[in-house]
Homo-oligomer: A and B are copies of this chain.
Amino acid sequence: MTQAPPKALAFDVFGTVVDWRSSIAAAAAPVLAAAGRGDIDAFAFTDAWRARYIVGMRAFGESGRGFVKLDVLHREMLDAVLDELGLDLGEGERQALVMGWHRLDPWPDSVEGLTRLKQRFPIVTCSNGHIALMVNMARHAGLVWDAILGAEIAQAYKPLPAAYTATAAALDLAPHELCLVAAHHGDLAAARAAGLQCAFVHRPLEYGGAPAPDLRYEQEWEYRATSLIDLAGKLGC
């Protein structure tokens, strides 16, 4: 590889650094049980919620709707899923489920991997999660970010190019000096189109072993790793 190494690393977070599926399912299970709907599988409920997110983020960018924090969109998507299930949760339960996305647990390698990577590189978020969510999650999970960048500072959701280029610009970097680290080929493809370097981290358990929905975007990325600890080794940290 002849390309110069990146000057900083920007991380996708949901799925790449934290295990949203196990964390949200664990939060949802008692809520579903208390509502007398123990028949609904908490993982299936979580997958249905997240599926709306993936579609919703792409649709949001094309809608022309003004930027709103991810809590607002998570709530709209939750309400739609609950309608679909015919499940009428109270306001408190709905808010608690939305706030569950602020307290996701890291993958087992994330804290050590990020801590090692930070010794050499500034590490920032380039997530669709807003600043308050990312701050709460970092404090919950022990993620040592140098800065919370991404959608809220860009006022644009990934995969819009501005989400990536605004993150680079906030660090006084050209796009090619920043590397996006993500477990999602679709995210990386959009980052590459915006000029960033790309590091793929394989997270085969993100969908509980089911195939990821964005395999069609797979390319040969600048870096490829099986964990953030593996990535640290490959980047000489």
Contact = CB atoms under 8 A, between A and B. Distances in A.
Interface of A: 69, 71, 122, 124, 130-132, 134-135, 138-139, 144-149, 152-153, 170-172
B122 A139 contact: yes
Contact of A135 (B122, B138, B144): B122
A146 B136 CA distance: 9
Contacts of A135: 122, 124, 146-147, 171
Contacts of A170: 130-132, 152
Contacts of A172: 69, 71, 132
Query: How would you classify the secondary structure of chain A's contact residues: helix, strand, loop or mixed?
Result: mixed
Name the residue in A69, A122, A124, A146 with the highest tally of chain B Cβ atoms < 10 Å from its Cβ: A146
Contacts of A152: 170
Top 3 closest A-B pairs, CB basis? A132-B172, A131-B170, A147-B148
Contacts of A122: 135, 139
A224 to B, nearest CB: 27
A139 B171 CA distance: 13
Contacts of A153: 131, 153
B171 A147 contact: no
21 contacts: A69-B172, A71-B172, A122-B135, A122-B139, A130-B170, A131-B147, A131-B149, A131-B153, A131-B171, A132-B170, A132-B171, A132-B172, A134-B147, A135-B147, A135-B171, A138-B146, A144-B144, A146-B148, A147-B147, A148-B148, A153-B153
